Structure 1
Amino acid sequence: MNFPVETRLQLTAITLADELSFTRAAERLEITQPALSKRIAELEKRVGFIIFKRNQRTVELTEAGQVFVRGCKDAAALLERAVRLARATHDEVRPVLTIGHSPYVDPSLVSAVLSVHLPLHADLRLRMESMFALDLAHSVLAAELDLAIITEPSDNPLLTSVEIATAPLCVVMPVEHPAAQGRSVSIRDLGEVGWMIFPRKAHPVVYDRVLEVARQAGTSPVELHHYVSPQEVVQLIAENFGVAFVAKGVAEPLQSREIAVRPLSERSLQLKSYLVLRADQSARLVNEFGRAFLKKVFPNAKLVDSNGQMLLKL
């Protein structure tokens, strides 16, 4: 396959970064090792920095090389998606939007996504992907997702984020726990028991904030447990593992005669969810869907100004 020079060199860097072996990379690219070495030398001359540290035995990425290769992979993903969308347009295949969300997001937001109807795209299909917060943001940037619902995403100038919901983090606990007697719970009320929480990689920002709020309050768990599925906490609570921190929309269905659900009173544990898409997103269908979703979430809000411009701008 003949690539334009820039694409060819990027593919060479990606392949060598994957293999960390000139022999294996050359085999994958179906070129000789001298030709591979020549390409890498040409690429490093063009970018002006060393991408690979190599000697007779090892090949390693430099720190700058890691950043460069990551960018090459993102660019390759964008190109692949552009080709896929163009082919679908050419073949008049039904349009598809891929939308990501966390397994811990409020189910009502997912329902709002699924209920969006675009009159001009009656045959639109939605592909839903569940993944952790950092993976969601990266997948939007890499164009693997068109849109995502992310709770407390990190700031990124390459992403556009529109706040769509605020809800307290909740505590799921046995009904006989003293803190269950009130309408809300302070994290100070949760000492001397075990805590169950989602894995840190699921929501690093929220996870760290919970532990920091606890530290400032002088509170800590007897033991710290991690759950993947929120439904796991019901059995763990029945087995006296303690109390669980669960997002509000996911926590409420867990309430029963034996289990109480109470919101945390700390303002810093009010969690905000956002609709997120690429800042340079120019696909009309993606933007139309985003606006339609915002109208579902804010049915009574004024979304346009006197000039017809979106106030919640995507």
Structure 2
Amino acid sequence: MARNETKYMESVIVLSEELNFTLAAQKMHVSQPVISRNIAELEAKLGGRLFDRDRKKVQLNKAGRAYVEKARIALLYGDRAFKAARAAMQDADLVLHVGRSPYADPFLSSTLISVQQAKFPRMRIELSSQYSFDLAHEILAGGLDLGIATEPPESPLLTTAKIGEAPFYIAMSEEDVLARHASVTLEQLADRCWILFERRLHPTVYDNVMTTAEAKGIAPQRIQHVTAPEEAFPCVAEGSWIAFVVKAGALRIARDGVTVRPLVEDSLSLKTYLISRSDNQSKAVSALVRSFIRQLESTQVGRQRPVAVPA
């Protein structure tokens, strides 16, 4: 094949990760026929299939695995060439693209930027916000250099370093009986009306909450789902609902009659990791990461304090 177009590589890589045409199309923000057409055109040029598929399943075959391995590298180096040119235009030696999870403590990304500005003035950081699974995908695809992700998916192609851990918080009305306590337990939430983030936003964390509750014999009276903590505010303020939020959400929702308390449940603590590609050999990135982790260790961010709330 004389010309291996980016659209083919991206389609095969995403489909190899999702193994579902509908989910792959959603991740690429295109229609399912576009994904199907890209795969069919590439397979026609190659003279063989990259996926074994029928009506029930899609599976990457030997040829597909070989293609994906090299396609990832090709996209990575193409992206690096783009970044190198843009860095020169912006009078910077290197532009780093860093993604952060909306569940991560904002202190982590602000510390990374402060370290960069103080010790690497010729480097520039561009931040974006995505959920952890999307962050991992973008890093593997070469779209991001680093990610600050909560409970990211495991992959042999990713290097991870734990940089923080914090409890969940329970948002409640200031008039709620639970507000008399400095912290709450899962048992105290039995038979209450729960507001949870939608499962699609972070399936691993959501499932952990539900399976832990089920193992303890704890069931909510009702469950309502939201995509952002602000959506939970009216119901919580009214007093009939409590909401599961993380530290960043707790800081935004604790106001005007709503307060938060840390949830004391070791198995439900939220761990945050710095993630990057395992084959990232950039000395500048490595130096930044080392300085960043040293700064976090010096401020003991790994032992994060609970959000301060009025007594």
Structure 1 length as normaliser, TM-score?
0.75
Distance 1:203 1:20, change over 3 A: closer
Distance 1:129 1:201, change over 3 A: same
Quote the residue 1:312 is aligned against.
none
Query: 273-282 or 244-253, which moves further after superposition?
Result: 244-253
One of 22, 37, 40 as aligned partner of 2:46? 40
Shift of 1:60: 11
Quote the residue 2:104 is aligned against.
105
Quote the residue 2:36 is aligned against.
20
Query: 162-171 or 287-296, which moves further after superposition?
Result: 287-296
Listed one character per residue, the Cα deviations across residues 104-129 of structure 1 (whole Å, up to 9, x for unaligned) are 21111122122123567413221111
Quote the residue 1:225 is aligned against.
224
Q: Which runs of 5+ in 2 are unaligned?
A: 16-33, 301-311
Which has the greater radius of gyration? 1
Shift of 1:240: 4.4
Counterpart of 1:251 in 2: which secondary structure? Answer: helix
Quote the residue 2:279 is aligned against.
280
Counterpart of 2:182 in 1: which secondary structure? Answer: coil
Distance 1:243 1:61, change over 3 A: closer
Quote the residue 2:115 is aligned against.
116
Whether contact under 8 Å (2:95, 2:126) holds in the other structure is yes
Q: Distance in 1 between matches of 2:181 and 2:55?
A: 61
Shift of 1:159: 1.1
Matching residue's letter, 1:183: A
Distance 1:205 1:10, change over 3 A: closer
Listed one character per residue, the Cα deviations across residues 30-85 of structure 1 (whole Å, up to 9, x for unaligned) are xxxxxx74x322xx4xxxxx42579xxx9999512596476565344213213213
Give the aligned length: 277
Q: Distance in 2 between matches of 1:212 and 1:110?
A: 31
Whether contact under 8 Å (2:159, 2:275) holds in the other structure is yes
One of 57, 78, 81 as aligned partner of 1:80? 78
Q: Which runs of 5+ in 1 are unaligned?
A: 30-35, 45-49, 302-314
Distance 1:181 1:257, change over 3 A: farther
Matching residue's letter, 2:46: I
Whether contact under 8 Å (1:192, 1:222) holds in the other structure is yes
Shift of 1:296: 2.2
Whether contact under 8 Å (1:20, 1:60) holds in the other structure is no
Shift of 1:96: 1.0
Q: Distance in 1 between matches of 2:100 and 2:266?
A: 24
Quote the residue 1:263 is aligned against.
262
Shift of 1:273: 0.9
Shift of 1:210: 0.6
Whether contact under 8 Å (1:170, 1:248) holds in the other structure is yes
Listed one character per residue, the Cα deviations across residues 246-297 of structure 1 (whole Å, up to 9, x for unaligned) are 1124313432362221111111012211111111110122112211211221
Does 1:63 pair with 2:62?
A: no
Percent identical pairs in the alignment equals 31
Quote the residue 1:191 is aligned against.
190
Whether contact under 8 Å (2:175, 2:239) holds in the other structure is no
Listed one character per residue, the Cα deviations across residues 126-166 of structure 1 (whole Å, up to 9, x for unaligned) are 11111111111111111111111111223222111111111
Whether contact under 8 Å (1:101, 1:130) holds in the other structure is yes
Shift of 1:89: 6.4
Does 1:162 pair with 2:158?
A: no
RMSD of Structure 2 on Structure 1 (CA): 3.5
Quote the residue 1:129 is aligned against.
128
Distance 1:70 1:270, change over 3 A: same
